[in-house]
Amino acid sequence: IRPLPKMILNPEVTSIFDFTFNDFTLVDYNPHPAIKGAVAV
């Protein structure tokens, strides 16, 4: 079992409406390998 990643929010932001993309940090994220499969179009 893999440990869960953590999302860290910028503590300097005081209003939920002031968050931007750069205020979020993902720590300890370790994705599984891609699942490959045939696709018909």
Identify which has the larger pLDDT, 41 or 24. 24
Phi and psi dihedrals of 27, rounded to 5? -115, 140
* Distance, CA of 23 to CA of 17 (rounded, Å): 12
Describe the chain by its helix, strand, coil percentages, rounded to 5.
15, 20, 65
Binned at pLDDT 50, 70 and 90, residue 2 comes out as confident
8 A C-beta contact, residue 39 and residue 22 = no
Q: Which amino acid is at 8?
A: I
Distance CA(22)–CA(41), nearest Å, equals 37
Residue 22's pLDDT is what? 98
- Whole-model pTM: value is 0.64
Q: Tell me the per-residue pLDDT of 4-37, one tens digit each, with 9 for 90 and over.
A: 999 999 999 999 999 999 999 999 999 999 999 9
Q: Residue 1: pLDDT above 90?
A: no
